Structure 1
Amino acid sequence: MPTFQNQDILEIAQGTALLRIAPQAGGRLLSWHIDGQPVIYWPDQADWSQPARIRGGNPLLFPFLARHRVDGQIGRWRDSAGVVRDLPMHGFARDLPFAASVDAQGAGVTMTLSDSDATRAAYPFGFRFDATYRLADAHTLDVDLTTTNTGDAPLPYYAGHHFYFALPHTQRGETALELPPTQRRRQEADGSISPAEPGESRCTLDDPHIMDRFHCLQGTPTQPVRLIAPGLGRTITIDLQRPGSIPWYAVTTWTEAPESDFYCVEPWLGLPDAIHNGLGLRWLAPGATETASLRIAVAGSN
């Protein structure tokens, strides 16, 4: 097994593309390089004692994403019977080890997290959560999130991605984000979701209005999401309208600091606190399975 930053990892290669993945660290996609250049960012110095806190790769957000709260306390949720439970922000998947299976062609991997004693106190449901990454070619990455209800009660969830796209911070002003029709919302200080505002079809990544904003998709997307980075000679297309996929609810834009050399574009199945506000909350019947799929294609990568 290859090692990276003194960690055992998986590597998936296709042509000039290389994926690095750490199943034991939350099923984390660490990085994606094409021709040696990073598409998905990973820091040179990473604190592996707390993998979920590393700014990079693609943390998997499950069973809930972002902030949920009860009586002002972040990281708590109340079920329909009124029982309050502790569940970390962005869920527990990014903190737990996944089992992994590489496909016969060596072009993809499926990682699996199932309910256990480590999950049931926070989330008392039977589930199987699979994340699949597959390189269709050197410039195209297919990603599936598949959730199965293995229990005997309806399962509430809203999963998502947290892709850290590599981008020098000095290039934000010239890097554009193109979106299909959306309404823009945010989470207020008290945890509520703001009223919807008309979304923009194009903006640049130095626009303060898109920081920590939810671009809620309106109907079936008529076009993909595009990240156009002329400074890198690169356009990244995120296709959210894949065959057989359940609908994505929103795309969130975020970065950590003005000097961060990444920008996050995050497809989500729901909005923060959906377990309480219902915005994107999904209910999966016992025995049912559903998949949220997307495709990331990179054109013009140097």
Structure 2
Amino acid sequence: MELHRFGDESLTATVSEAGAELHSLQDAAGSEWLWQAGPEWPRRAPLLFPVVGRLPGDVLRHQGRAHRMTQHGFARDRRFEWLRRDRAGCTLRLRDDEATRAAYPFPFTLDVTWAVADGVLSCTVLVSNPGAGLLPFSLGAHPAFAWPLPGASSAEGHTLSFPGSGLETLAARRLTGGLLNAAETIPLRCGALALLPALFERDAIVLPAFSGRRLHYAAPGGAALKIEWEGYGDLGLWSKPGAAFLCLEPWCGTAAPLGWDGEFMQKPDITHLAPGASRLFRWAVRPLPSPS
């Protein structure tokens, strides 16, 4: 497994060819902002494609055939090809092959570009359809950030806010067996969500058709992360109670709803890409260390 390290004077990132996954995000002081895997969850920031979440029975149904498709898809477990590596970042590519077509019978190209500039890490994903028919897909980011944030004395008192959204509540959905189920309204206090392990006792918080495009993850001592995204219309929030990470996940697509089990082309919240077309998705994060 090859890794590529890049960055500037304020921020350094490391990306792996395995899954085009971010492995590290360190500030100028060497503090690590990304969860470093562990027994609670062995990943760091997987790329979700061609599904986000789960399909019923882990089966993708297309034109009368059943294909094995496990949770969050296969891209996170595939080795990508390096297209570019330099001091500013890298670009990696995944194309369809015999193995992917057994699970997902569609031609595709997935280009992932990571870059650091002016203390901001960005991830741009270009999904392309080289085929003659529609390409149905979902795409998601799944970065796990440290909780507590660097410099914070404990996990207590951390919050999430959504600048510019004007939200007073979150219109959430919960999961049953990995499938989208019950609706839930989560109140915000002064526009912020108090982060408590109990929030994730029933798995992830899914925010379909989320109106915001920015969030602010902050610790009491002043350390914070600012995240923004383009192209993604859904958001996932996840942790495991007691684990030292918080996943902040811009998505395009969600898990299948409980009770649905149909043709993948007609899956609720699926995206269709026309033949020869491409679509761009981007998210970016700026770590803000606590004042010294």
TM-score (norm 1): 0.81
Q: Which whole-Å CA distance do the structure 2 matches of 1:254 and 1:165 have between them?
A: 11
Q: Contact 1:226–1:237 (CA<8 Å) still a contact in 2?
A: yes
Q: Which whole-Å CA distance do the structure 2 matches of 1:198 and 1:8 have between them?
A: 42
Write the deviation string for residues 117-151 of structure 1: whole angstroms up to 9, x where unpaired. Answer: 110010011100111111012x2111111100011
Q: Which residue pairs with 1:213 in the alignment?
A: 205
The one of 82, 90, 112 aligned to 2:93? 112
CA separation of 1:141 and 1:67: change in aligned 2, threshold 3 A: same
Q: Which residue pairs with 1:10 in the alignment?
A: 4
Q: Contact 1:40–1:56 (CA<8 Å) still a contact in 2?
A: no
Higher mean alpha-carbon deviation, 115-124 vs 266-275, is at 266-275
Amino acid at match of 2:117: A
SS at match of 2:208: strand
Q: Which residue pairs with 2:109 in the alignment?
A: 128
Write the deviation string for residues 20-77 of structure 1: whole angstroms up to 9, x where unpaired. Answer: 1111x1111111111200111214x68xxxxxx96342101001011111xxx2x212
Q: Contact 2:210–2:235 (CA<8 Å) still a contact in 1?
A: no
CA separation of 1:119 and 1:178: change in aligned 2, threshold 3 A: same
Identity %: 26
SS at match of 2:176: coil
Q: Contact 1:184–1:199 (CA<8 Å) still a contact in 2?
A: no
Answering whether residue 208 of structure 2 is matched by residue 228 of structure 1, we say: no
TM-score (norm 2): 0.84
SS at match of 1:111: strand
Q: Which whole-Å CA distance do the structure 2 matches of 1:62 and 1:199 have between them?
A: 31
SS at match of 1:121: helix
Q: Which whole-Å CA distance do the structure 2 matches of 1:153 and 1:171 have between them?
A: 51
Answering whether residue 166 of structure 2 is matched by residue 166 of structure 1, we say: no
Return 5+ residue gaps in structure 2 as ranges.
258-263
Q: Contact 1:87–1:122 (CA<8 Å) still a contact in 2?
A: yes
Q: Which whole-Å CA distance do the structure 2 matches of 1:270 and 1:8 have between them?
A: 30
RMSD: 2.5
Answering whether residue 185 of structure 2 is matched by residue 197 of structure 1, we say: yes
Answering whether residue 287 of structure 2 is matched by residue 283 of structure 1, we say: no
Write the deviation string for residues 173-217 of structure 1: whole angstroms up to 9, x where unpaired. Answer: 310011344421112348343236366442122163355111234
Number of equivalenced pairs: 272
Q: Which residue pairs with 2:20 in the alignment?
A: 27
Amino acid at match of 1:8: E
